[in-house]
Structure formats: structure tokens, C-alpha cells
């Protein structure tokens, strides 16, 4: 079922709840790929009913980011969702979500603002306001769908950590399930933004996973000094790569460390053909 209206989703989910069925939500911005399908599969295994939201959320894009050109493929998304047995695809308009004619700023809209450190480190250093926009839409989706479980990919590791923090701090009665990164055979992490890359760009983008895998194998060989681990990246970089950050932090709190340990995660953001790509790996 494809719904565009909040009330339609609410009414259907309420019927399920009255029957005692469990509900899973997979929040997406559409342009579904195998990474999203792995979240949907996990939701189907875990819950009686599955809702996929398909909404390119304007308030999580900065003014110079790719909101206008972000791929919108609702027909193809619907086909994939029906193959996977998704019960509802919720594809609202921005007006439906934020009110007609509203200016989407925190002068006029109530925002969820996670703690400063969480939203201003890593991706937040260059994407001001991004995680406030993500948390605001995710909390709205949680309130609209009222799922028992919500499914997110480890690909956006900082996003999942921040959403878990929001859920804990605001006592949201929803269990957050993190699912592993899905990669192409080459090692490239799946992302809707890979569509922007040329064939050569996709080859150049393999540097992200190569750097991360190399850091992990150096850690396994006994190197724990974070600066030394980060330095191993430089031999992989060429003028095709515009590195934004490479950090090794705590996988639950995002805190910086001087020594890596079994709770460490290495995260990278790098531009290839001016496409901003992110990836990460648990060191253990």
C-alpha cells in the first residue's frame, strides 16, 4: 500500500496494533538499493508488519548540498518494496510533513537538537544542522508510525549513535536495530549517492574501504596508536581524493581516543568526483 497522508498511515497502523501485531519502521529517503533491502529483510524477520518511509527530508540538507538532485525513484522503490512484502510505503510531501508554506527553519519549526558534541563532530563539522534535521524527521516518523522497532544501517554510524541517544534521552519507546553495511563485491559501501559516480569514480572510491580495512589489519597486528593508524591512510590517497576526515573514536559515544581498543570504530568521509562518500569499520 502506498500512502501519502499521515492520517492514512495512522489509521492502518492503529488497526494492526489493535490486533496485537508488532510494527517495524525502515526510514529511508528512497532510491532504494540492496543496503535498504537488507534493513527491510531484517524488519520482516523481526516484526509482523513493516512500514518503509520514502521521503527526501529537506531540513537535513544544507543550502549548498544535493537536495534538488537527490535521486527520487518512487516507482522503482514501490516495486522493490512489494517484492519484499512491505506492508506500507509512506511517501509524504514536504507540505504534509512540515505544513504548507512553512519556512523550514528553527525560527518557525520545533527541532530536535541532540547534544552539541554529537552533532558537531565528524560529518557534523561540515554539515551544520544536518543531524538536527535528521533527528527532527526521525522523531516525527516515530510519532506518526509508532513502531515497536526501527531499522538503520551502520553505514551512517554517526546517525545511528545520535538516534539512539535521542531515543534514550527522550524516552522514546522504540527499539533501534542497527544492521551491517552492505558492500558491492569490490568493497564499495552501497549508497544512493554512488549513482553520481562514473565507472572510474567508483574505482577511485574503493580507497575508502581499502583505508579502513588496512587500519583494521594494522590494529589486528598490534598497532593501537590512533595517530599511527590514521597515518597509514596517506599511501592510498591520490589527487582524485579529497579527504574530509578520518577518525578513530568510541563506537558508542563518538569520543576521541589516543589508543584504539575493541570498542573503536574508524570512520572516513572523502570526496571523489566531488561526491561526498562516507564509510566506517569496527576494529573488532
| Residue 226 or 254 having the CB closest to ligand PAF | 254
| Residue 178 or 214 having the CB closest to ligand PAF | 178
Residues in 165-184 at the binding interface with ligand PAF, rule: CB under 6 A: none
Candidate list 134, 150, 189, 246; residue touching ligand PAF; CB under 6 A: 134
Candidate list 137, 145, 181, 197; residue touching ligand PAF; CB under 6 A: 137
Contacts of 169 (CB under 8 A, 6+ apart): 114
Give the range of 134-142, 170-178, 194-202, 257-265 binding ligand PAF by CB under 6 A.
Answer: 134-142
Residues in 19-58 at the binding interface with ligand PAF, rule: CB under 6 A: 27-29, 57
Catalytically active residues are 36
| Residue 29 or 249 having the CB closest to ligand PAF | 29
194 binds ligand PAF (CB under 6 A): no
In the bound complex, what is the minimum distance in angstroms from residue 156's beta carbon to ligand PAF?
5
Rounded distance between C-alpha atoms, residue 266 and residue 53, angstroms? 29
Rounded distance between C-alpha atoms, residue 77 and residue 243, angstroms? 32
| Residue 121 or 159 having the CB closest to ligand PAF | 159
**Cα–Cα separations (whole angstroms), residue 240 to 172, 206, 209, 227, 236:** 43, 11, 15, 23, 11
* Residue with the three cell numbers 535521542: 166
Residues contacting ligand PAF: total by CB under 6 A: 10
132 binds ligand PAF (CB under 6 A): no
Rounded distance between C-alpha atoms, residue 34 and residue 258, angstroms? 35
In the bound complex, what is the minimum distance in angstroms from residue 136's beta carbon to ligand PAF?
9
60 binds ligand PAF (CB under 6 A): yes
| Residue 157 or 233 having the CB closest to ligand PAF | 157
156 binds ligand PAF (CB under 6 A): yes
248 binds ligand PAF (CB under 6 A): no
In the bound complex, what is the minimum distance in angstroms from residue 31's beta carbon to ligand PAF?
9
Candidate list 112, 138, 139, 150; residue touching ligand PAF; CB under 6 A: 138
Give the range of 66-74, 132-140, 173-181, 244-252 binding ligand PAF by CB under 6 A.
Answer: 132-140
In the bound complex, what is the minimum distance in angstroms from residue 59's beta carbon to ligand PAF?
9
Residues binding ligand PAF (CB under 6 A): 27-29, 57, 60, 134, 137-138, 156, 159
Amino acid at each position: 500500500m502506498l500512502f501519502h497522508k499521515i492520517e492514512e498511515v495512522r489509521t492502518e497502523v492503529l488497526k494492526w496494533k489493535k490486533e496485537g501485531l508488532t510494527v517495524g519502521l525502515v526510514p529511508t529517503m528512497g532510491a532504494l538499493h540492496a543496503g535498504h533491502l537488507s534493513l527491510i529483510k531484517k524488519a520482516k524477520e523481526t516484526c509482523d508488519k513493516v512500514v518503509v518511509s520514502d521521503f527526501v527530508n529537506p531540513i537535513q540538507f544544507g543550502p549548498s548540498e544535493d537536495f534538488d538532485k537527490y535521486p527520487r525513484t518512487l516507482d522503482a522503490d514501490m516495486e522493490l518494496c512489494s517484492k519484499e512484502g512491505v506492508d506500507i510505503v509512506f511517501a509524504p510531501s514536504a507540505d504534509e510533513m512540515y505544513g504548507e508554506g512553512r519556512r523550514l527553519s528553527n525560527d518557525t519549526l520545533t527541532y530536535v537538537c541532540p547534544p552539541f558534541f554529537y552533532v558537531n563532530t565528524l560529518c557534523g563539522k561540515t554539515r551544520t544542522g544536518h543531524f538536527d534535521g535528521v533527528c527532527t524527521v526521525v522523531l516525527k516518523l516515530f510519532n506518526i508510525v509508532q513502531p515497536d522497532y526501527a531499522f538503520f544501517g551502520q553505514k551512517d554510524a554517526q546517525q545511528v549513535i545520535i538516534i539512539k541517544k535521542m531515543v534514550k534521552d527522550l524516552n522514546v519507546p522504540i527499539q533501534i536495530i542497527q544492521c551491517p553495511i552492505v558492500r558491492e563485491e569490490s568493497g564499495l559501501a552501497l549508497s544512493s549517492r554512488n549513482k553520481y559516480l562514473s565507472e572510474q569514480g567508483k574505482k577511485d572510491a574503493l580507497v575508502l574501504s581499502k583505508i579502513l580495512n588496512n587500519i583494521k589489519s594494522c590494529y589486528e597486528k598490534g598497532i593501537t596508536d590512533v595517530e599511527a593508524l590514521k597515518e597509514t591512510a596517506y599511501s592510498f590517497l591520490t589527487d582524485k581524493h579529497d579527504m574530509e576526515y578520518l577518525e578513530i573514536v568510541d563506537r558508542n559515544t563518538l569520543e576521541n581516543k589516543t589508543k584504539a581498543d575493541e570498542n573503536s570504530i574508524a570512520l572516513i568521509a572523502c570526496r571523489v568526483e566531488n561526491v561526498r562518500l562516507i564509510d566506517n569499520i569496527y576494529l573488532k
